[in-house]
Amino acid sequence: MDAKYATGRVGRVATWVLLVLCSLAFLYPLVWLVSASLKGRGQVFDNALVPETFHWGNFATVFHELPLLPWLFNSLAIAVLAAVTVAVSSSMVAFGFAYFRFRGRSLVFGLVLATMMLPGAVTMVPVYLIWRELGLLGTWAPLWAANLFGSAFYIFLQRQFFLGLPRELFEAARIDGAGYWRLFTRIAMPLAIPSFVIVLLFEFQASWNNFQSALIYLNSESIEDFTAPLGIAYAMTKYSPTAGGQGDYQYVMVASLLITLPMLALFAFGQRYFIEGVATTGTKG
Amino acid sequence: MSRDVETAPFQAVAAEAGKPRPGHGPRLTARRRETLAGWLFISPWILGFLIFTAGAMVMAAGLAFSDFNLATGEARWVGARNFAQLVDDPRVATSLGNTLFFAVLSVPLEIAVALGLAMLLARVGRGAGIFRTLFFLPKMTPMVATAAIFFLLLNGSQGAINQGLRLIGVQGPQWLVDPDWIKPSIVLMSLWAVSGTMVIFLAALKNVPRELYEVASIDGAGGWRRFYNITMPMISPALFFNTIVLTIAAFQTFDQAYLLFYRDQSNAAPEASLFYAVYLFQQAFRQFNLGFAAAMAWVLFVIIMIITAVQVRVGNRFVHYSGRD
């Protein structure tokens, strides 16, 4: 009995030690990023976690060195458009699947689930041609407008939530003469705010981080039109010594930090939503 | 008396409904309205599906058999020529091999690390929150920032990782230059952001009834046996899900490879970094061989479908869904 208790305690201490070590490993690149963003030219590679001298000026200079302000604005505007449109359209479609009983419903919903498994690379080329045909290349539309039609995972998420609402709620409103649209806007949506927020946060993050679409659709001559991820990729090359730069990587680090911070803030605000949302993918998918 | 009051509204409804359209039951009309409204509510998705999924897939199939001229917008039927070129192009085989190698290396490692971390977190119970938050931060870091950080951390001569290794007397590899270490470098980046997978495992672990472990302990089952006989079957749906999702993602790996090796077009990138999605992108948007790229896309689709189907078949044998025994 005593021996068992001892191994339990040793085990517990070992668990904590391992967790602390893993946390340090996971945290190290981010701490390194913060310190690198405060270093002077050529000091990034000294790898000291506390800079020799703190170059706070980097955070001002970077806005002259790179069009970071327009990049951040473009990213923000696109992310808001993408998140709001996909959250609204997906909720509407989800309500259609959750409330109404009609023939073909489960078949179509099966199709929705099937599209989640479809690799995006497969439709990359034709989708590009569709936007080209519509004359929208070089605009923001390809980066968000497809969200008007809802997105499978979010439809799934919202439908799960709507299915959890008691049906009597809707029946009572029906008897009071409410139409279907009112059921959706006045009863279902106000109650679905928590999962609506999950959708908003997820899509905002996805859009904010999106690199490939920006690379395909915004590869124009004027770098001011870039989104922040595309801009940082450009900056990585600009300062690279092999491409004729001076190795001023501290600016790339400042820019990287500045696009990471909003995500960390979002996480601080919606941690519960994020982790719940991700966990839902696994347990119910 | 009270009976009359109760039935009165129903009689009124029946009377009204009977009036306007003889022959059609009022229930059918209500049903039709519900059907119509249902289809209207889901119509945005259907429209999007017809254009951006079904339409795009059909277009991709058409393109794969054509020579598409982007300037004139004309497509000329060339039969299976694109597929023949695809077989002849050694870079297609290289990129497929690289991608396959990466998937085989990264998926099991990600599963193992995510599960290990989740089990550690599950053991501490209270106090796990702060660690879970810390582990999740890399997942929130945009990929381009991750790439920028690791681009510098993994520098062969001056990077922090090799400096750290030197401290313990190990000569680190030329991570981003040595062809043998390019894919492990990208695996390292994936492992850093493994917490999405971890959270799914953690949710599954929390659903394992504690009594099962207690009973097993009384029966004298050791840690390893408890893991193998209780934990593994109980979390098998999550294991199955994570494996499939990570595999599909691995086959589409693009951002990391592109950002580290293909962003600077004046530099020749090492062959070992040529992932399938990167080559597809180059063919489509740098060479504008859209037909060839569409053929590549369809091949990728078929490969992913086959691998997923195999995983589902194997999975069905091992996955244990509670409540469905």
Q: Which stretches of chain B drop beneath a pLDDT of 70?
A: 1-28, 266, 322-325
CA dihedral A178→A181→A182→A183, nearest 10 degrees, is 80
pLDDT digits (tens, 9 = 90+) for A62-100: 999 999 999 999 999 999 999 999 999 999 999 999 999
Asked if residue A69 belongs to a domain, the reply is yes
DSSP 8-class letter at B208: S
Q: Mark which residues 29-68 of B lie under 8 Å from A by CB.
A: 34-35, 37-42, 44-49, 51-53, 55-57, 59-60, 63
Residues A194 and A93 in one domain: yes
pLDDT of residue B5: 40
Asked if residue A43 belongs to a domain, the reply is no
Sorted by where each begins, the domain ranges of chain B are: 2-64, 83-318
CA distance linking residue A253 with residue A244, whole number of Å? 19
CA distance B252 to chain A (A): 7
Rounded mean pLDDT, A235-239: 91
Asked if residue A232 belongs to a domain, the reply is yes
- Give the containing element (helix H, strand E) for B159: none
pLDDT of residue B220: 85
Asked if residue A132 belongs to a domain, the reply is yes
B124 or A30: which leads in pLDDT: A30
Confidence of residue A285 (pLDDT cuts 50, 70, 90): very low
Residues A240 and A179 in one domain: yes
pLDDT of residue B14: 42
Residues A211 and A272 in one domain: yes
**Candidates A7, A13, A19, partner chain B, best to mutate (most B CBs within 10 A):** A19
Residues A227 and A105 in one domain: yes
Total domains in the fold of chain A = 2
Cross-chain residue pair B44–A264, CB shorter than 8 Å: no
Q: Please determine, for residue A131, whether its predicted confidence score (pLDDT) is greater than 80.
A: yes
Contact between B221 and B229 (Cβ < 8 Å): yes
Domain span at residue A80? Answer: 59-284
Q: Is the ipTM reported for this complex over the cut 0.85?
A: yes
Domain B83-318 in this protein, CATH class:
mainly alpha
Rounded mean pLDDT, A145-153: 95
Q: Which residue has the tokens 């290289």?
A: B94
Q: Which residues in chain B have their CB less than 8 angstroms from residue A257's CB? A: 145
pLDDT of residue B27: 56
Rounded mean pLDDT, A235-244: 84
**Candidates B41, B74, B200, B285, partner chain A, best to mutate (most A CBs within 10 A):** B41
Please tell me the number of Cα atoms within 13 Å of A154 on its side-chain side: 30
pLDDT digits (tens, 9 = 90+) for B223-270: 888 888 899 999 999 999 999 999 999 999 999 999 999 988 767 888
Average pLDDT, chain A: 90
Asked if residue A233 belongs to a domain, the reply is yes
pLDDT of residue A247: 80
pTM given for the model:
0.89
The three state secondary structure string of chain A is CHHHHHHHHHHHHHHHHHHHHHHHHHHHHHHHHHHHCCCCCCCHHHCCCCCCCCCCCHHHHHHHHCCHHHHHHHHHHHHHHHHHHHHHHHHHHHHHHHHCCCCCHHHHHHHHHHHHCCCHHHHHHHHHHHHHHCCCCCCCHHHHHHHHHCCHHHHHHHHHHHHCCCHHHHHHHHHCCCCHHHHHHHHHHHHCHHHHHHHHHHHHHHHHHCCHHHHHHCCCCCHHHCCHHHHHHHHHHHCCHHHCCCCCHHHHHHHHHHHHHHHHHHHHHHHHHHHHHHHHHHHHC
pLDDT digits (tens, 9 = 90+) for A168-222: 999 999 999 999 999 999 999 999 998 899 999 999 999 999 999 999 999 777 8
